[in-house]
Structure 1
């Protein structure tokens, strides 16, 4: 698996490289230290996954991710964040990154990278618990117009919990193929791009705590 790491802290990039390459399954093919380099290195190296800091001096990982995703919608980007980055977390969800890692949660880094490579979105429990409050907004009142049925809502809630297709299939006793069809239908029906945006939609328009 080919990984690009971008962070403005040399100690962080060095530590991350050591951690991920120790797994024996991940090769760090490039290291950058700002948003501009992130975009340039991504376009040059075409990594499987980009692991990138959010706060990097005058530029941000959000800006770099936005530019990369505008050119390549399927880009797999994982952002590194801290507890104080609420506004960045919300924006990252909206633009369609694949997940968020807390810098202090070192044990989760390699499993999260592998999960993203396997097509999953990564939501840490800490961030998941905060999403309803971060995305708190007035419900749009048009769910009936969107013709979402009970099964659609059930699948949306499980996606928002971070479950993959196999886990959802087991949970509601359907085949993985059927789940894939449901998700494709939901993406088309809601005019959304990926699972992350489905999770955002759920928390903004359906979730009630």
Structure 2
């Protein structure tokens, strides 16, 4: 797994590089210190995952992530910060970041990178508990009007709970291929890009 790290604290970036490269599965292709550099480094290296700080002196990680995702919709970006700020969480979800975890939770960084690399969405426990309340609106949404079946809605709920395709397949006694087919249908019907947006959409329309 090739990773690019961007953090405006060089000591933190160096420490993260040391921690990650201690794992034989991870190679740090480059490090940077600003959102603008993150965009350039992503274009150059096309990493499996971009691990990026949010609060940086010039271009923020959120703004850099939005720019990268507009150019590379399949980019996998894991945001790392010391702040569980509600506004940051909502923006990270809406722009399509694959995860948002706190720096102080060092033990979760490598597992989170692996999960994001396989297409899962990752949020630390402290952050996950906030998401429903942050994104909930009072409006009712009729999934039937979008031709979403009961089974598809069940899958949407499980995706919003953070389950992978394999976990959903096991829970619903389906094959992973069938789950992928359902997900493709859901994305098409709701005009969404990926499973992260499915989770956001669900919470927004509770």
Q: TM-score, normalised by structure 2?
A: 0.95
What is the distance in 2 between the residues matched to 1:47 and 1:97? 14
Distance 1:98 1:118 in 2: 10
Residue 176 of structure 1 deviates from its aligned partner by 0.7
**Which moved further from structure 2: 37-46 or 118-127?**
118-127
Could you tell me whether the CA contact under 8 Å between 2:35 and 2:63 is conserved in 1?
yes
* Secondary structure, counterpart of 1:56 in structure 2: coil
Query: What's the counterpart of residue 168 of structure 2?
Result: 168
Q: List structure 1 runs of 4+ shifted beyond 4 angstroms.
A: none
Match of 2:188 in 1: 188
Secondary structure, in 3 states, of the residue corresponding to 2:121? coil
* C-alpha distance in structure 2 between counterparts of 1:88 and 1:4, whole Å: 21
Superposed displacement of residue 94, structure 1: 1.0
Provide the rounded CA distance (Å) in 2 between the counterparts of 1:141 and 1:60. 34
Residue in 2 aligned with 1:4? 4
How far apart are residue 139 of structure 1 and its match? Answer: 2.1
CA-CA distance at 1:205 after TM superposition: 0.7
Q: How far apart are the structure 1 equivalents of 2:16 and 2:140?
A: 41
TM-score normalised to structure 1 length? 0.94
Aligned length: 206
Q: Which residue pairs with 1:202 in the alignment?
A: 202
Runs of at least 5 residues in structure 2 that lack an aligned partner in the other structure = none
| 2:67 is equivalent to residue 67 of structure 1 | yes
Secondary structure of 1:24's aligned partner: coil
Aligned partners of 1:169 and 1:139: how far apart in 2?
30
**How far apart are 1:146 and its partner, in Å?**
1.2
Q: Which residue of 2 aligns with 1:91?
A: 91
Query: Partners of 1:192 and 1:66 in 2: how far apart?
Result: 16
Question: Hey, what does 1:53 align to over in structure 2?
Answer: 53
Secondary structure of the corresponding residue to residue 119 of structure 1: coil
Structure 2 SS opposite 1:182: helix
**In the TM superposition, what is the alpha-carbon distance from 1:59 to its structure 2 partner?**
2.2
Q: 2-side partners of 1:76 and 1:119: how far apart?
A: 8
Deviation at 1:137, TM superposition (A): 1.6
Contact kept, 8 Å, 1:32 with 1:38, in 2: the verdict is: yes
Unaligned segments of structure 1, at least 5 residues: none
Measured against aligned partners, the alpha-carbon deviations of 1:153-209 in whole angstroms (never above 9, x if no partner) come to 211111111111110000011111110010000000000000100000111113xxx
CA distance in 2, matches of 1:24, 1:94: 33
Which residues of 2 match residues 22-37 of structure 1 at below 5 A? 22-37=22-37
1:58 positional shift: 3.6
- Residues 82-139 of structure 1: per-residue CA shift (max 9 Å, x gap): 3432111111111111111210110110111111112222122222111011112222
